Chains A and B, each alone.
Chain A
Amino acid sequence: MSAEASAIHMAARASIWLKPHRIVLILIGLALVLCAAVFMRWDWLPQYWEMGLMGIWRALWILAVTCALGFALAVPLGLAQAGGPIWFSAPAKVFCTIIRGTPLLLQLWLLYYGLGSIFPQYPWIRESWLWPYLRQAWPYGVVALTFSFAGYEGEVMRGAFAGVPRGQLEAARAFGMSRWKIFRRIWLPQAFYRALPTLTGETVLQLKSTPLVATISVIDIFAVSSKVRQDTYLTYEPLLLLALIYMTITGILVFVFSRIEARIPVKIG
């Protein structure tokens, strides 16, 4: 019975793709891809694929680290704005406004060129254990992307924290839970469920921001494609492949998040 149902389900899903105009469009798309594969130059691929994989790995690493750190920063930012006293909520609001009101590229260059030119003037910074890191580019990229994620997500978390019904928190208090336990067991999980759909979008946006670190000489996949363009004088091939790589990563991210979302109870609040 269930096998029959799943067969019908499969047939229904297959028929979405097998409408006549879709078949024609898919064939045209395949023909375009084939043309690109045959008529464009791809002989540089064997030489650069190792570097490319390193670049993809680095981009994914930056994405994961900045999203995790940014979210950890966004929770206190959201909490401060949703229910904190004024001396917490005002600085948090100013931080979110500044981050959201200026371009990420400018923030990145401000940190890298601006702060990066200030640091060497102080001998005690040059002698500290941090100096080997501060001389490299990637810490500035990670900090800028983390702040950006925290700024946007902090605003989302503010709404999510404020959206948790009062009754839930009052019930928790009536049970005699401590403030920390209320936060950990009731407030944070429910706010997180509310924020999850936007978290998918924010993560994809964050992925699309990672190529900016290539402008401060971090070798991610975008920088690799720029190097290929400089070395081989090809304009389109590296860029098209790059677009395909980002599309694939986006697709995987959206799929993974939709699986996570499906595991979470739908009815909230």
Chain B
Amino acid sequence: MELLSPVAPGWGGTLLVGLLHSVEIAIGATCLGLMIGTAGAFGKLYGGPVTRDLLAVYTTVVRAVPELVLILLLYYAGTDLINQVLTAIGYSRVDISGLAAGIFVLGFVQGAYSTEVIRGAILAIPQGQIEAARAYGMSPGLMLRRITVPAMLPFAIPGLANLWLIATKDTALLAVVGFFELTLATRQAAGVTKAYLLFYLAAGALYLALSLFSNLIIGRVEAWSRRGMPSVREAR
């Protein structure tokens, strides 16, 4: 049990740093995914035919290929591309930080899923509300801020919350490309001390605590976004 203590001889501190990195990546990836998803949803709904087709290709391909393969592809391709651009315009090569690369890669994957979630949520808004906003002469930006986003949130939040939980778990995949997060930290600690079962169980408990804590927050947020709406049945 002293192996788990947070100070030097124990590895608890290493695990906690790993957990912190995992949470950082999950937050960053979810934010990036939300931005891509919002833009993608509007592109799919209101964009021209070419935009729509390109976005359809993006969401289909990303959702059909395993995350692990996408992470490897984007990780190598992304860092390679940036370095080639940098050398082409006369700068020296840089080392892309694992954090930025991880956020970019997972955000790109999350973007495809949240595009579909947000598109579905916007489609679930009663059409009359949007027409009424147009009839009032609202500009598209004002309409987005005052009508579309608040009205779609109750429909989008269950799906987006699910995506957040997926993001926290997908950070574990970055261990395969050597980024130091909870799963890799666990593997290193277990490899050094040979206490495999102990450390994997401890890491599992940390992930589970993160999920359960998220569920608690999500419940609050969902209740807040549905304020003033008739309550739905429990089993929705």
Bound together, the chains give a CA A106 to CA B172 distance in angstroms of 7
Bound together, the chains give a CA A114 to CA B204 distance in angstroms of 12
Interface check B77, CB cutoff 8 A: yes
- State which residues 185-210 of A face B: CB under 8 Å: 204, 207-210
Interface check B176, CB cutoff 8 A: yes
- Knowing A100-B211, A103-B169, A109-B183 touch, does A21 contact B49 (C-beta < 8 A)? yes
A residues in contact with B207, CB < 8 Å? 101-103, 106
> Interface majority SS on B: helix, strand, loop or mixed?
helix
Question: Are the C-beta atoms of B197 and A236 separated by less than 8 Å?
Answer: no
Smallest beta-carbon distance B187→chain A, Å: 7
A residues in contact with B76, CB < 8 Å? 235-236, 239
B residues in contact with A212, CB < 8 Å? 68
- State which residues 93-113 of A face B: CB under 8 Å: 97-98, 100-107, 109-110, 113
Question: Are the C-beta atoms of B173 and A250 separated by less than 8 Å?
Answer: no
B residues in contact with A159, CB < 8 Å? 235
A residues in contact with B235, CB < 8 Å? 159, 162-163
Question: Are the C-beta atoms of A115 and B64 separated by less than 8 Å?
Answer: no
> Interface majority SS on A: helix, strand, loop or mixed?
helix
The answer, among B53, B70, B197, B203, for a CB contact under 8 Å with A25, is B53
Query: Could you say which of B54, B175, B212 has the most chain A C-beta atoms within 10 Å of its C-beta?
Result: B175
Q: Nearest chain-B residue to A101 (Cβ)? A: B211
Query: Could you say which of A208, A209, A210, A251 has the most chain B C-beta atoms within 10 Å of its C-beta?
Result: A208
A residues in contact with B69, CB < 8 Å? 211, 222, 239, 242-243, 246
A residues in contact with B196, CB < 8 Å? 113-114, 116-118
Interface check B73, CB cutoff 8 A: yes
- Knowing A117-B194, A162-B235, A208-B66 touch, does A105 contact B208 (C-beta < 8 A)? no
Smallest beta-carbon distance B191→chain A, Å: 8
Smallest beta-carbon distance A238→chain B, Å: 10
- Knowing A98-B208, A102-B207, A211-B69 touch, does A236 contact B77 (C-beta < 8 A)? yes
A residues in contact with B72, CB < 8 Å? 239
Bound together, the chains give a CA A246 to CA B70 distance in angstroms of 11
Question: Are the C-beta atoms of B65 and A215 separated by less than 8 Å?
Answer: no
- State which residues 185-236 of B face A: CB under 8 Å: 186-187, 190, 194, 196-197, 200-201, 203-204, 207-208, 211-212, 235
**Which residues does A use to contact B, with CB under 8 Å?**
19, 21-22, 25, 97-98, 100-107, 109-110, 113-118, 159, 162-163, 204, 207-212, 215, 222, 235-236, 239-240, 242-243, 246-247, 250-251
Q: List 24 A-B contacts (CB under 8 A).
A: A21-B49, A21-B50, A101-B211, A101-B212, A102-B207, A102-B208, A102-B211, A103-B169, A103-B170, A103-B183, A104-B169, A105-B176, A106-B204, A106-B207, A109-B200, A113-B187, A117-B194, A118-B196, A208-B66, A209-B66, A211-B69, A222-B69, A235-B80, A239-B72
Knowing that A106-B200, A107-B204 are A-B contacts, what are 14 other residue pairs whose CB atoms are under 8 Å apart, sorted by A's residue number?
Answer: A25-B54, A100-B165, A101-B212, A102-B208, A103-B169, A103-B172, A109-B200, A110-B197, A114-B201, A211-B66, A222-B69, A243-B70, A246-B64, A246-B69
